[in-house]
Amino acid sequence: EPMSKRQRKKLLKQKQWEEQKDLRRQKRKEKRQKRKLERQSKLDSNSEGNERKRMRREVVPSTLRLIVDCSFDDLMVLKDVKKLHKQIQRCYAENRKAFHPVQFYLTSHGGQLKSNMNENDKGWVNWK
């Protein structure tokens, strides 16, 4: 049965793909090795520990206070409460990384928001 031009091209591409499989695998392996060596050398050169932790020691706290009032969560739909939870998480994380972190407070924390945070993020109780 004669083969169409399109079928021949497809077959040729498939054959080339199979032939180059070992080469691609070898390249991926070399790339992984290279990344591993870079990470290793970075860890060796950075004997003090994690960069974030070192950066954290150099932080100067700000006198500003940020207060998030969560008393209105009973007026929100569950979808909005979940979005608020994500926003609070993001604010907390960014504040921890900041060079001049503000004092971050949550007030009237209860109801839907608290139950959502307990359900999805049990680590929030350790926040400072």
- pLDDT for 40 equals 86
Please give the full DSSP string across 13-43, using - where no structure is assigned. Answer: HHHHHHHTHHHHHHHHHHHHHHHHHHHHHHH
Contact 114, 124 (CB under 8 A): no
Q: Are residues 107 and 71 in the same domain?
A: yes
Q: Are residues 41 and 86 in the same domain?
A: no
pTM: 0.53
The answer to the question of residue 12 being in a domain is yes
60-72, pLDDT tens digit by residue? 777 888 888 888 8
Through-space distance between the first and last CA atoms of the chain, rounded to whole angstroms: 75
Q: Are residues 41 and 69 in the same domain?
A: no
4-27, pLDDT tens digit by residue? 999 999 999 999 999 999 999 999
Q: Are residues 3 and 39 in the same domain?
A: yes
The answer to the question of residue 38 being in a domain is yes
Domain span including residue 23? 1-45
Dihedrals phi, psi of 107, to nearest 5 degrees: -115, 155
Q: Could you give the number of structural domains in the chain?
A: 2
